[in-house]
Amino acid sequence: MNTPLLSAKDLTVQFRTPKGPITAVNGIDLTLERGEVLGIIGESGSGKSVTMRALLRILPEAKTEIAGDLKLDGKDVLSLKGHDLAAYRGGDVSMVFQEPATALDPVFTIGTQISETVRRHRKVSRKDAQARALEMLELVRIPSPASRLGNYPHEMSGGMRQRAMIALALAAGPKLLLADEPTTALDATVQIQVILLLRELQREMGMATIFVTHDVGVAAEISDRIAVMYAGRIVETGTAAEVLKNPKHPYTQGLLSSTVQGAVPGTPIKAIPGMPPDLAQMPPGCAFAPRCPLATSACQAAVPDLRAQGGERRVACVRLEEIA
Amino acid sequence: MLGYILKRLLYAVPVTLAVSIICFSLVQLAPGDPLTVVLPADASQEIVDQTRARYGLDKPLPTQYLLWLSNVLQGDLGTSIASGRSVSSEIGHAIGYTLSVAVLACLLALVAGLALGLVAGYTMGSPMDKIASATAISGVSVPHYWLGIVLVVFFSVKLGWFPAMGAGRSGQSLGDALSFMILPVLTMAAMPAGIITRSVRALVAEKLGQEFVTALRAKGMTSPHIFAHVVKNAAPTALAVIGVQMGYLMAGSILVETVFAWPGTGLLLNNAILTRDIPLLQGTILVLALIFVALNLIVDILQPLFDPRIQRA
Ligand SMILES: Nc1ncnc2c1ncn2[C@@H]1O[C@H](COP(=O)(O)OP(=O)(O)OP(=O)(O)O)[C@@H](O)[C@H]1O
Ligand SMILES: [Mg+2]
C-alpha cells in the first residue's frame, strides 16, 4: 500500500561518445509519492535534463546506457519494450519541454497534436479525441479554445504555445508530469502565469510532478521537496523549506547565494568560483571539492554518501558536522 | 489559399516575360547567318534581302522581339526555316515523345530516390545507408551520354534485349513502344534519382534530429506515426528538389535524345542548332522554359498544403 509512485535506485546514465564514455547521471536515488512535487535545481550541465529524459526513457538508445533500478507504480521501467514502452511514454509519464516552439510539430495543428496523443493512449473515436483536446485547451485557460484547436504552433504566442504543450502533456492523464525548465523560454510576466497554472493544475489533477528549474524562487513556490544536483549526483535533498532556508551542503549554499533571492541584501551576488568538472574525468572524491572553500584532503578520498540528517533531509558532505 | 494561388500566378508573369526575352536574344548571339542554310551559296543579294524580309530579319532586334512575342501570344511560333513546317506542329509532334520518356523517367527517379533516400536517412551510418548513398553518388556523377552508350552496348548490342535507337514505327504494340523507351528512361532517371536520394536522405536525417521528434516519442508515438510526421515536414523541401529535377529532366533531354535518336524536343533542338533554324530554336527553348516555369509554379502551389508557414511569406 505504501509503495511510492516513483522509485529510482542507483540510476546511472552513460553516453558513449567518440571521446569515451560520459557519466551524465551518476547513481542517484529518487522517490516520489503520488501527488508530490519534487524540484530539481543545479548548475547547467549537472544532469537535470538527462535525469528527466532517463525517467521517460527518451534518451537515444543507440548511444546510451541506463543502469540501476527504476519503478513507476510497480512497473519496471528499464525493462519496458515496444508497445509497453510507448504506452508508458505519455500515458504513465509525460513531459513538458523547455522550448514549445521546437517541441511542437510545426506543420500539424494543436488540435491534431493533442488528439493524436489521446487516441494513442485511449480507445476513443476521432471526434471524442477532438472533444478531449478542446477540454484540455479550456483547462489550460487558452482564450477561445475552439478556434485555437485549428491553429498551428507558429500562429500562437510563446506563452500560449507552452499552455498548449501542457495541455498535450496532461491529455492522457499521466501519473507523473516532468517539467524541464518549462518557463525558461518565456517572458518574465508570462513565466509567472505559466508557473501558477502548472501549480493549480497539479493541485486539481493531483499528478506527481518533477520540476527542473534554475529559479530558486520558483522552486520554493512550487515544490514539496527539493533535490540539488551537481555533476550527475544528488548532493542535498529535503523539504523545500529546509533546503532553501537552511542549505547545508557548501554547493547548495553557493548556489543559493549566487541567485538574487538567496543573496544577503546589501552584499554583491557571489558566483561559485571555478567550473563544474569534466564528466569524462571525474575527481576521485567529492566532485565539488575542487571548487569548495571548505574542502580538505578527506574530501578527495572518496565520494561522500548522502547521509540522513533527520526527517527528509539528506546531505552528501563529509565535513557536515564540522562546518555546520 | 485562392489568393495565394493568384499571387503565385501573377509572379509567374514577369518571369515568363523574362524567359521569353532570354530565349529570343540568346539565339541571336549564336554565330552564323541562318539564311546560309536555306539559300544556295550563290544566291543573288536581291534574293537574300527578300528572304531576310520574309522572315522579318531585316528589322531592328527589339521590333523583331515584339513581332515574335505578339505572334507567340496568338499561339503562332513561326515557321521552321529548315523544314518549312510550322514550329508549333514540329514541337507538338516532338513533345509527346519527350513527355512520355520524361514522365516515366520522373516516376522512376521519384520512386527510386524517395525509397533510397528514406532508407538512407533513417539508417544514417549503417551499411544500408552506405549502399544507398554510393548508388546515389554513382547516379549523380556518371555522365548521361556515357551511361546511355554503356546501356546500349550492354543491353542492345550484347544481350539484344532492347532496341538501341529511335522510337519504332507508328501503330506498333504498347510493349514494342515501351521496349524502345526503357534505355532512354533508365539513362534519364539516373541523375535525378541520385539527387533526390541525397536530398531526401539529408532532409530525413535533419528532421529526425529535431526536438519535435523526441517530443513525439515522449508522448508515446510509435515509428509509423513519427514517419508520417517526418514526411509531412520534409515534403515542401523534397517537392522543390523534385520539381527542379523534373524541369532539368525535360530540358536536359537533349543529350540523351541525341544518343538514342529519340525523336523528342531534345533531338529537335539539336537539329535546330545544327541547321541554325532560329524560329524552331526559339520556339523549342521557349516551350521547354515554360514547362520549367510551370513546374515551379505547381511546386509553389503544393508546398503550403504541407507547411502552413509557407503561405505567409
Ligand atoms: N546525448 C548526449 N550525448 C552526450 N552527452 C550528453 C548528451 N546529453 C547530455 N549530455 C551531457 O550530459 C551532461 C548533463 O546535461 P544536462 O542536459 O542533463 O544538463 P542540465 O542539468 O539539464 O543543464 P541545463 O541547466 O543547462 O539544462 C552535459 O555535460 C551534457 O553535455
Ligand atoms: Mg537541461
Residue A263 has pLDDT above 60, yes or no: no
3-state helix, strand, coil in chain A (%, to 5): 40, 25, 40
3-state secondary structure of B66: helix
Q: How far apart are CA A48 and CA A228, in angstroms?
A: 9
Class of residue B277 by CB neighbours under 10 A (exposed 0-12, middle 13-18, buried 19+)? buried
Confidence of residue B30 (pLDDT cuts 50, 70, 90): low
Write the single-letter amino acid at A207: M
DSSP A179-211: EESTTTTS-HHHHHHHHHHHHHHHHHH--EEEE
Interior/surface letters B178-207, b for 16+ CB within 10 angstroms, e for the rest: eebbbbbbbbbbbbbbbbbbbbbbbbbbeb
Residue A324 has pLDDT above 70, yes or no: no
Average pLDDT of span A89-113: 94
Residues of chain A contacting B215 with CB distance shorter than 8 Å: 95, 97, 103-105
State the pLDDT at residue A180: 94
Average pLDDT of span A225-232: 94
Q: A202 with A209: CB under 8 angstroms?
A: yes
Q: Is residue B182 assigned to a domain?
A: yes
Q: Which phi and psi (to 5°) does residue A316 adopt?
A: -105, 80
Q: How far apart are CA A222 and CA B46, in angstroms?
A: 100
Q: B117 with B207: CB under 8 angstroms?
A: no
3-state secondary structure of B206: helix
Q: Is residue B229 assigned to a domain?
A: yes
Higher pLDDT, B20 or A142: A142
Mean residue pLDDT of chain A comes to 90
Q: How many residues does chain B have?
A: 313
Is the torsion defined by CA of A253, A256, A261, A263 positive or negative?
Answer: positive
What number of other Cβ atoms are within 10 A of residue A158's Cβ?
Answer: 16
CA of A62 to the centre of ligand 1 (A): 17
Number of Cβ pairs < 8 A linking chain A and chain B: 71
Q: Are strands A176-180 and A208-212 parallel, antiparallel or unpaired?
A: parallel
Report the gap between the CA of B306 and the closest CA in chain A (Å): 7
Q: A185 with A97: CB under 8 angstroms?
A: no
Q: Is residue B122 assigned to a domain?
A: yes
Task: Determine whether the interchain pair B215/A106 forms a contact, defined as Cβ–Cβ distance below 8 Å.
Answer: no
State the pLDDT at residue A197: 92
Q: Cα–Cα distances in Å, from A304 out to A1, A233, A287, A289, B15?
A: 33, 11, 9, 11, 73
Task: Determine whether the interchain pair A90/B220 forms a contact, defined as Cβ–Cβ distance below 8 Å.
Answer: yes
- Structural domains of chain A sorted by starting position, each given as residue range(s) with its CATH number in brackets: 6-261+270-323 (3.40.50.300)
Residues with CB under 5 A from ligand 2 (ion): A 49
Whichever domain contains B248, its CATH number is 1.10.3720.10
The secondary structure element, H or E, covering residue A229 is strand A225-230
Name which of A235-239, B29-33, B90-94 the model is least confident about: B29-33
Task: Using most ligand atoms within 8 A of CB, pick from A13, A22, A23, A28 the residue to mutate for ligand 1.
Answer: A22
State the pLDDT at residue A227: 95
Q: Which domain holds residue B224?
A: 91-264
Domain count, chain B: 1
In chain A, which among 114-133 make CB contacts under 8 A with chain B?
116-117, 120-121
The secondary structure element, H or E, covering residue A176 is strand A176-180
Q: How far apart are CA B137 and CA A131, in angstroms?
A: 50
Residues 6+ apart with CB under 8 A from B114: B196, B200, B238
Q: Is residue B148 assigned to a domain?
A: yes
Mutate one of A81, A85, A107, A110 to test the B interface: name it (highest B CB count within 10 A). A107
Closest ligand to Cα A45: 1
Tell whether A52 lies on the interface with B, counting CB pairs under 8 A: no
Return the percentage of chain A with pLDDT > 70, whole number.
96
Strand-pair partners of A40? A212, A227
CB of A24 closer than 6 A to ligand 1?
yes
User: pLDDT for B196-224, tens place per residue?
Assistant: 999 999 999 999 999 999 999 999 999 89
State the pLDDT at residue B215: 95
Task: Determine whether the interchain pair B220/A104 forms a contact, defined as Cβ–Cβ distance below 8 Å.
Answer: no
CA of A46 to the centre of ligand 1 (A): 7
Among partner residues B211, B221, B308, which is closest to A120 by beta-carbon distance? B221
Q: Cα–Cα distances in Å, from A161 out to A53, A102, A300?
A: 21, 10, 47
Return the percentage of chain B with pLDDT > 90, whole number.
10
Atom of ligand 1 nearest to the CA of A279: 29
Name which of A149-153, B5-9, B106-110, B154-158 the model is least confident about: B154-158
Give, as one character, the DSSP assignment of residue A304. P
Name the closest residue on chain B to residue A100, using Cα atoms.
B212
CA of A24 to the centre of ligand 1 (A): 7
Residues 6+ apart with CB under 8 A from B211: A97, A99, A102, A103
Class of residue A46 by CB neighbours under 10 A (exposed 0-12, middle 13-18, buried 19+)? buried
State the pLDDT at residue A110: 95
Mutate one of B122, B203, B213, B219 to test the A interface: name it (highest A CB count within 10 A). B219
Q: Which phi and psi (to 5°) does residue A122 adopt?
A: -130, 145
Name the closest residue on chain A to residue B305, using Cα atoms.
A107
CA dihedral B293, B297, B303, B308 (to 10 degrees): 140
Interface residues from chain B to A (CB-CB < 8 Å): 210-212, 214-222, 225, 229, 232-233, 306-309
CB of A41 closer than 6 A to ligand 1?
no
CB of A27 closer than 6 A to ligand 1?
no
Query: All 3 cell numbers of residue B246?
Result: 523534373
At which residue does the C-alpha cell 512520355 appear? B100
Residue A252 has pLDDT above 60, yes or no: yes
Residue A64 has pLDDT above 90, yes or no: yes
Q: How far apart are CA B166 and CA A132, in angstroms?
A: 63
